């Protein structure tokens, strides 16, 4: 699947990443049709969150 990956402060790229897997009986996988960004994503993009690592996937405003 494609994902927006954090590459460093103010640097992102769209990459192919592994598909998610069902790990527990109550897990589900939802096909995302649209995604948006919000203020939290801008904090991540600008490097204000020290726990971010290169390759971390951005975006949590999903619809599917």
Beta strand pairing call for 34-36 and 11-16: unpaired
The pLDDT value given to residue 62: 84
Rg (CA), the chain: 13
Given a contact cutoff of 8 angstroms between Cβ atoms, the answer to whether 4 and 57 are in contact is yes
The pLDDT value given to residue 27: 97
- Residue 62, CB-side half-sphere exposure with 13 Å CA sphere: 12
Q: Give the CA distances from residue 56 to residues 12, 24, 26, in Å, rounded to whole numbers and listed in that order.
A: 10, 22, 24
The pLDDT value given to residue 19: 94
Q: Which domain holds residue 50?
A: 2-63
Q: With CA atoms as reference, report the closest residue to 1 among 14, 10, 12.
A: 14
Question: pTM surpassing 0.95?
Answer: no
Across the chain, which has 64 residues, the per-10-residue mean pLDDT values are: 95 96 96 87 94 93 82
């Amino acid at each position: 699947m494609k994902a927006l990956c954090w590459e460093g402060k103010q640097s992102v790229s769209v990459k192919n990443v592994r598909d998610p897997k069902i790990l527990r009986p109550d897990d589900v996988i939802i096909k995302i049709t649209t995604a948006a960004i919000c203020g939290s994503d801008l904090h991540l993009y600008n490097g204000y969150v020290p726990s971010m690592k290169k390759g971390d996937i951005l975006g949590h405003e999903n619809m599917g």
